[in-house]
Structure 1
Amino acid sequence: MKKFKKIATLSATLIFITTLTSFKNTTTKAYANHNKYKYTGTIDQATKYGTVEGLVDSNTNTLQWLGVPYAKAPIGSLRWKAPQDLSSWTGIKDAKKFGNVATQLDSTGKNVIGSEDCLYLNIWRPNTKEKNLPVLLFAHGGGNITGSGASFQGDILANRTNSIVISINYRLGAMGWFLNDAVKDGNKLDDSGNYGLLDIFKSLDWVNKNISDFGGNPDNVTLSGQSAGARDVIASLISPLSKGLYEKAMPMSGGMTLTSTDEGKNFSNQMIEKLLVKQGKALNEADAAKWIKNQSKSQLNTYLKSVDSKELVSLYGSVAIKMNPFPHLYKDGYVIPKDGFNEIKKGNYNNVPIIVGSMSNEFTLFSATDPYFGGSVLNQSIFNDPTKSKIYTDSIYYGSKLYSGFNADNVADLIASSNKKDNGIYAYRCGWGTQDGVITNNTKYFAAAHGLDIDLITGHYNMGNYFSGFYTDANKPGRDSLGTVMDSYLKNFLYTGNPNGNKLTKWGTWQTSNKKARIMKFDATTNTSLTSMSKEHLVKQDIIDEMNSSLPKNERDIIVNSLFNGRFFWQY
């Protein structure tokens, strides 16, 4: 990993960071692509609940059904309930455009968009008559507080892998993760507070029951996700409710994060107190706490159900940049075991073949917008201050090692330590953009950044919408080659649970011995892909030891206390 030099046009190119993991730009781009494509016709498809009308896409030679409901709308009495089976419909339901996104703050953090009626999925498959195709279901990122399935377009990927690709919406923020005694009804699913995770399970249940109608194999489903979606995938491994819903997993840049029920309850109470003050029902939070205490369970339930979802999600703010998540993924003892990821050590988990992935420079975007630097990175004044500039580049270097290790190595190590069946654990680290000459100097800070592997795998290069010099005609042959190679491995994995195949560099399973290669390195020059196995092993304590021996104490303290403190890769 290289430390970076001054960037001449940094202020213009950094604008995109604040929205990279949020809804607005990636989803807007998806809608724009959808609108500009030319479609040659429509296609009706029956499901167990009714018929949906999708599109024939002549641009990518795929069939697609967008905005297909997979559960009842979680509105009214179904707010903060486990997702319910759909009711059947008559006639033909339109599935030619993306469904409502979940209620969330937009990229400015000021406006609320979306709807509680958000449980929709999108399906892409090759325009062939082939049946029994493997299925990839993807959960989007965004801190479990922003995002949409529309940001993950599966048309190119479906053709490259000859599979069915599905992206989903699920409940977010206060609507997807809410733990409060007032809304409990004695039903263990409803009382778990893990509504977003249950939505993901419900989408898998829908796939199991309906995907054969679309030519898919319900017994060959891979659950994937990126960032927060990947954390949900990893959490699903220890949920007893996930067993039998999928056969393989592929979390991308998502580590292991869970929350105690006490933390969840305390957080919800704090949010309710803030809401009461905001609404003028209490003078301050202490006064609001008294108001809550004086309400019966029924009264508080009625009040909470009456609050507009837009008010609720706005209280949770945006965690896309700080990477310090609000409490969610509760260890309720039913959906998620009380003992959390220790269940893996005991062998009590969904032991399926798995690919865990990360980017080489996971922390670069997050450091650039950290409050510690104020606007000094954006206006480039930081480079006039040698001390602060060094703190900036060192935070990227060590933060990326920590975050990348948290996302991949830490997960692989834990699973490998108790993998009794030896089902296969594969890991990768993607470094696209770090090779000399691949991207221009003014975009070097974004090489191998968090989320870039999604662009390579899907063939939709969304990062290129934010600034020039990142995706260019010159580096197109190399990145297209890398994307094709990554999807060749993925195709094999979707079909067999093993990514290896003819003419591909041998991808070995994760090894606990430091003497053996354990992780696949994906990269590319301007012209061709680069793949190789590596012994690299990013372990938190080793990185801390390197920081202690290499950095002056005052700089280390600033990086740890101001830039790393509170982030989940530092807390575990």
Structure 2
Amino acid sequence: MYRTFLTNLCALLAVVAISQTVEANSRLLEIEKGQISGVRVANDVDAFLGIPYAAPPVGPLRWKAPRPAQPWDGVLKANKFPTACPQLGNFFANVPASQFGKPVGTEDCLYLNVWRPAPAKEKQLPVVVWIHGGSNFKGTSADPMYDGKYLASKSNIVMVSLNYRIGLLGAISYKALENGTKLDKSGNFVTLDLIQGLKWVHDNIKTFGGDPNNVTIMGQSAGCMNVWGLLQTPLSEGLFHKAVCSSGLPNIYPKAMARARSGDFVENLVFNARLVADRKDAGKFIEAKGEKWVREFLYSRTSDEIVLGQDYSVPVQHIEDEVVFPHGLEATALGFYQQVPMILGSTMDEATYLLGTQYFKPDLATLWGYLQNTPANLKFEDVINTNYVTFRTATKSTSLALNRTISNIYLTARLYNSETYRYNFEWNNTPQPWKDILGSVHGMDAIFYLGNFDSKNENFARFAWTEENRESREALREEMNKHFTQFFWTGNPGWKGTIDFK
């Protein structure tokens, strides 16, 4: 009997070992540039994190259009999120509060992440490419709010997220930097990075079970603006087939405006380097030095110095340049953009964050602590430095204005494409004092359709999830997922015109 027991045990262990080997081999893939190995992140989802989709934009490739990634030898362990692109530490950089306001990130940041159902329930699944927000100055694909495993499993799709250059490293118009190819000279590296990422998807996503002929681009806030950028540029044609755009507006800046912003940035760098004693003398100093000196000076700056030279709330991320954006914003108003099925959406209280930050009383690190673990006795007046009526009047009127603008864009878009849909997001069951302070805050809709009610890892929305609101939020998440899944698969979300999610 003992011998029989040992025989059975050995057989069982052999089966387990074979099963584990087969499972591990299913996460060893051969893609265009080499072999990669992923990780199992849920019972039915594999993740491949930190895959290079372009060559590192460093050294002579800084301020150049992205080049293809180089092949690698051996097996690339795709098991770790990429580092954020250079920025000041903030709520959306996936860094500890001790680094808020300090330069973080690295220029070697052009990596993407893929989540797929495992084992794949069927081949040729729809692909969703997530473009993170952050005013095109902040953010990273590694933010816990943007994890792709819920959507990959629930919607049975292949989910992709990616980093792209931000700030003045991502969009610049400065004469001394205009050398190289037409794309190099354009300065529109935000959009060119995203196009390079979509080319990677087109060339590689079949290996993950995805359909390169059924790709939805999706983004929130600046991510939505960049979705618009991909719709507006002719260079992305054929690389995507549907779009979801949440809480963002189309924009293309005249070159003169981009020139002014870029020139101001270079003057900041010169002053910060103590090459002039007075900031107002920086322009004359630069003019006297000439283009060659300025170009060498710019390439000699560290990424930290570049980040510290950017003292703007929003950069000029899309620049009219005759190549990437051959037309200005007026062309968009006339319907000159790629006409694909599209969802436009916004939240009821967009401005409680977009405008309300000027009323926040605590410093960012303290406020972040409140968002992660709200003190039981925290009150409205502990967070906001004015009275409730003043705060709500300012934020509500601005929210209404933004929502009206997006509704008007939707109505105009419908003139050119009947497959355009609109949603309003109104869920507001968060605990106090956040219910009064943030409400249905900017970005809350994306957390619902991405499905990440993350109360374990530090993230901006951690304050929102309680046992008391579990039933309502899970029911709404289920409803939104039903519609968005249908859109990913067919291009029709299953509602006509406008829908309210609340």
TM-score past 0.5 threshold: yes
SS at match of 1:241: helix
Match of residue 443 from structure 2:
451
C-alpha RMSD of the superposition: 2.3
Give the letter aligned to residue 362 of structure 1.
Answer: E
1:85 aligns with 2:48: no
Q: Partner of 2:382 in structure 1?
A: 379
Give the Cα–Cα distance (whole angstroms) in 2 for the partners of residues 185 and 114 of structure 1: 26
Give 1:467 shift: 8.4
**In structure 2, what residue type is equivalent to 1:112?**
P
Q: Is the 8 A contact 2:252 2:328 kept in 1?
A: no
Amino acid at match of 1:167: S
C-alpha offsets along residues 462-487 of structure 1, whole Å, 9 cap, x if unaligned? 58956887321121122111112111
After superposing the two structures, state which structure 1 stretch, 95-104 or 371-380, moved more. 371-380
Provide the secondary structure at the position in 2 that maps to 1:51. strand
Query: Which of residues 321, 337, 356 is equivalent to 2:326?
Result: 337
Which AA in structure 2 matches 1:128?
P
Partner of 1:44: 28
Distance 1:217 1:405, change over 3 A: same
Q: CA deviation at 1:380?
A: 6.2
CA drift of 1:347 comes to 3.7
Name the counterpart of 1:69.
52
**Cα distance, 1:374 vs structure 2:** 9.6
1:244 aligned partner: 238
TM-score by length of 2: 0.85
Deviation per residue, 1:474-521 (Å, 9 max, x gap): 211221111121111111111110112xxxxxx103xxxxxxxxx100
State the match for 1:99 in structure 2: 82
- What code does the residue aligned with 1:429 have? N
Q: Secondary structure at the match of 2:257?
A: helix
Per-residue CA deviations over 1:343-397 (Å, capped at 9, x if unaligned) read 23444211000001111111112343216989997536856xxxx5432221122
Letter in 2 for 1:458: L
Count of matched residue positions in the alignment of Structure 1 and Structure 2: 450
Gaps of 5+ in 2: 1-22, 91-98, 364-378
**Aligned counterpart for 2:38 among listed residues 51, 54, 74:** 54
| Pairing 1:521–2:500 present | yes
Aligned pairs for 1:120-199 within 5 A? 120-129=111-120, 130-151=122-143, 152-185=146-179, 187-199=181-193
Q: Which residue of 1 aligns with 2:367?
A: none
Measure how far apart 1:273 and its partner are: 1.2
Cα 1:194–1:469 change in 2 (3 A) is: closer
Q: Distance in 1 between matches of 2:64 and 2:383?
A: 48
Does the CA contact (< 8 Å) of 1:455 and 1:462 recur in 2? no
Asked whether the 8 Å contact 2:361–2:382 carries over to 1, the reply is: no
**Alpha-carbon shift at residue 60 of structure 1 (Å):** 4.4
In 2: Cα distance, 1:425 partner to 1:417 partner: 9
> Which SS does the other structure have where 1:150 is aligned?
coil
Corresponding residue for residue 417 of structure 1: 415
Measure the CA separation in 1 of the matches of 2:43 and 2:228: 32
CA distance in 1: counterparts of 2:230 and 2:294, whole angstroms: 31
Where in structure 2 are the equivalents of 1:318-397 lying within 5 Å?
319=313, 325-340=314-329, 342-370=330-358, 379=382, 389-397=388-396
Q: Secondary structure at the match of 2:320?
A: coil
Q: Give the superposition deviation at 1:337.
A: 2.7
Are the counterparts in 1 of residues 33 and 72 from structure 2 also a CA contact under 8 Å? yes
Query: What amino acid is aligned across from residue 343 of structure 1 in structure 2?
Result: A
- Identify the residue that residue 372 of structure 2 maps to in structure 1: none
CA distance in 1, matches of 2:35, 2:407: 44
Amino acid at match of 1:100: T
Displacement after TM superposition at 1:80 (Å): 0.5
Preserved contact between residue 361 and residue 396 of structure 1 (Cα < 8 Å): yes
Q: Secondary structure at the match of 1:370?
A: helix
Amino acid at match of 2:38: G
Counterpart of 1:85 in 2: which secondary structure? coil
Cα distance in 2, alignment partners of residues 347 and 253 from structure 1: 20
Please list the CA deviations of residues 51-100 of structure 1 after superposition, one character each: whole Å capped at 9, or x if unmatched.
1111122x342011000110100011110111111122221111001112
Task: Provide the C-alpha distance between the structure 1 equivalents of 2:341 and 2:242, rounded to a whole number of angstroms.
Answer: 5
User: Given the alignment, which residue of 481, 488, 492 partners 1:487?
Assistant: 481
Kept after mapping to 2: 8 A contact 1:60/1:155: no
- Relative to structure 1, is the Cα distance of residues 456 and 60 closer, same or farther in structure 2, using a 3 angstrom cutoff? farther
Give the alignment's TM-score, normalised by structure 1.
0.75
103-112 or 297-306, larger mean C-alpha shift:
103-112
Instruction: Give the aligned partner of residue 442 of structure 1.
Output: 433
Contact 2:215–2:241 under 8 Å retained in 1: yes
Determine whether 1:428 maps to 2:423: yes
Identity %: 31
Deviation of 1:156 after TM superposition, in Å, equals 0.6
71-80 or 482-491, which deviates more: 482-491
Cross-structure match for 2:93: none
Counterpart code for 1:86: A
1:287 CA drift (Å): 2.1
Residues 378 and 265 (structure 1 numbering): CA distance in 2 closer, same or farther, change over 3 Å? farther
Contact 2:53/2:196 (CA < 8 Å) preserved in 1? yes
Query: 1:331 Cα shift?
Result: 1.4
Q: Is the 8 A contact 1:249 1:355 kept in 2?
A: yes
| 3-state SS of paired residue (1:122) | strand
How far did residue 296 of structure 1 move?
2.8
The one-letter code sitting in structure 1 at the alignment partner of 2:430 is I
Verify the 8 A CA contact 2:359 2:391 in the aligned structure 1. Answer: no
Using the TM superposition, give the Cα deviation of residue 318 of structure 1 relative to its aligned residue in structure 2, in angstroms: 6.3
Alignment-derived partner of residue 20 in structure 2: none
Letter in 2 for 1:296: G
User: Mapping of 1:1-20 within 5 angstroms?
Assistant: none
Cα 1:253/1:469, change in 2 over 3 Å:
closer
Residue aligning to 1:280: 274
SS of corresponding position for 2:261: helix
Query: Who is 1:110 aligned against?
Result: 101
Contact 1:256 / 1:411 at 8 angstroms: preserved in 2?
Answer: no
Contact 2:359 2:384 in 1 (8 A): no
